[in-house]
Structure 1
Amino acid sequence: MFMDPAQVPELTALSDAWTDIRAELEALSREYFISWPEKSIYDGDWTVFPLYKFGEKVVEHCALCPITTRAIEGIPGLLTAGFSSLAPGTYIGPHFGYTSEVLRAHLGLLTPTDCAIRVGPETKAWTPGGLMLFDDTTEHEAWNRSGETRVVLLLDFKRDPTADVHYPEHVLAYGRQDHGQQGA
């Protein structure tokens, strides 16, 4: 289920900088975006621009987005971060994340109408500059039924910044690829 983003005060930096973050997103070439690696959970065109993968900085990408990088690096226990893009007509089916040791946040950047995410029994639409926070081990699905692309800044971070996080081996394999990123 959704949680109150105010529970993680460091997320405020994302909301404060959201227009600058969106400007960096809009300046990126689409050639930098790659398909989400878990193709079995979605129909359509879901692409990502990773900034962090399993705690490892994607230096070349972060250099293209210095404001975004500064904002996300202030989040304790940051593991995964990147722009998540759903083309018109894309549907991500019901699925679960891999570990309850992390939380997921979305910052709305390009948020057309008729795009939403369901987490457990609750459905919400993204809003420009709006934050969503949830445990992705709760069943969730997302869709873009609009005629425009939806993009959010997606982040995974440790519930306990000092704890180790354990992912299944097949998930870590996505992170070892040149461009893969865990998640949903």
Structure 2
Amino acid sequence: MDNLTMTKNARRPLLIRIGKYLRPVFNRILAHYSLFPNEPVLDPYDLPWVKSLEQHGPQIRQEWERLNQERDVAPPLKEISPDHARIADDQRWKSFFLYGYGFRVAENCAKAPFTAALASRIPNLNSAFFSILDPGAEIPPHFGVTKGLLTCHLGVSVPRKREECWINVDGQKIEWENDRCILFDDTYEHWVKNNTDEQRVVLLIQILRPERSVGKLLQKLFMTAIRKSAFVKDARKNFSRWSAAHNQMERI
């Protein structure tokens, strides 16, 4: 282990550094007190805001298409979040953040005001961003951080060969569709492939999982720790640096 890795690990709070030990315990408690089934793939229409999001799909797509005309509008995820380097080991998985772990990215919200306004009205929003997967890209099998979150994808720009572009959640293969949502628990193993020659774009929404009593308290403690951790702080700093460099290039 090099000095940089050791330093980064030392900066992680106890809750994160021993997460491999604690998270299974936390996840069992969160699953027990959850108001949603403990299933890998869930019914998105159990969330009251999903239909409205789908109805506004065409406007979201128009806004994304305008954004995408800008050069290098979204950075590779690994440049923003070093913690994702293992599963984002090339430049073909990019993210355009509007909200991240409760923090609003003002610059990006100004560029996508319609989508940002819609996302801001989603109850218990944790994160909202355009997730871009370039042609031929693959995200290897991995697990999410906590069962305290649920992940929703709205298809924004789905390749025409839908059968060649998919997400697999715990053995269930799901193809995206424009203006349609899928909902899943990312603590189950999942991976993604885009075997087409087109870009795949989804609006990724993460919300706090509906919990009761003890589960809600544990969820609040865990999410507070994550938001205060280097995992989030480093990502915010890296985005600020990337944005400054990107804006300088645009002025050249």
Which structure is higher in strand share?
Answer: 1
Give the C-alpha shift of residue 64 in structure 1. Answer: 1.4
Task: Provide TM-score, normalisation by structure 1.
Answer: 0.90
1:159 aligns to 2:198 (yes or no): no
Give the C-alpha shift of residue 137 in structure 1. Answer: 0.6
How do 1:57-76 and structure 2 match up within 5 A?
A: 57-76=104-123
The structure 2 residue matched to 1:135, chosen from 166, 185, 208, is 185
Question: Unpaired runs of 5+ in structure 2?
Answer: 1-39, 79-83, 241-252
Q: Deviations over 1:101-130 (max 9, x none)?
A: 010000001111210000112011100111
Q: What secondary structure, in the 3-state scheme, does the structure 1 residue paired with 2:187 have?
A: coil
1:2 aligns to 2:37 (yes or no): no
- Give the aligned partner of residue 172 of structure 2: 122
Give the C-alpha shift of residue 174 in structure 1. Answer: 4.5
Give the C-alpha shift of residue 69 in structure 1. Answer: 1.3
- Distance in 2, matches of 1:14 and 1:42, equals 28
How do 1:24-43 and structure 2 match up within 5 A?
A: 24-28=63-67, 29-37=70-78, 38-42=84-88
| Shift in CA distance, 172/6, structure 1 to aligned 2, threshold 3 Å | same
- Give the aligned partner of residue 239 of structure 2: 179
Q: What secondary structure, in the 3-state scheme, does the structure 1 residue paired with 2:110 have?
A: helix
The percent of aligned pairs where both chains have the same amino acid is 35
Question: Unpaired runs of 5+ in structure 1?
Answer: none
| Shift in CA distance, 139/167, structure 1 to aligned 2, threshold 3 Å | farther
CA contact under 8 A between 2:77 and 2:88: conserved in structure 1? no
Give the C-alpha shift of residue 42 in structure 1. Answer: 3.5
Pairwise CA RMSD of aligned residues?
1.9
CA contact under 8 A between 1:54 and 1:175: conserved in structure 2? no
Task: Provide TM-score, normalisation by structure 2.
Answer: 0.67
Amino acid at match of 2:58: T
How do 1:14-33 and structure 2 match up within 5 A?
A: 14-28=53-67, 29-33=70-74
Q: What secondary structure, in the 3-state scheme, does the structure 1 residue paired with 2:183 have?
A: strand
1:48 aligns to 2:95 (yes or no): yes
Tell which structure's C-alpha radius of gyration is larger. Answer: 2
Q: What secondary structure, in the 3-state scheme, does the structure 2 residue paired with 1:94 have?
A: strand
- Distance in 2, matches of 1:174 and 1:8, equals 32
- Distance in 1, matches of 2:188 and 2:118, equals 26
CA contact under 8 A between 1:43 and 1:90: conserved in structure 2? no
Mean Cα displacement is larger for which, 139-148 or 38-47?
38-47
| Shift in CA distance, 133/30, structure 1 to aligned 2, threshold 3 Å | farther
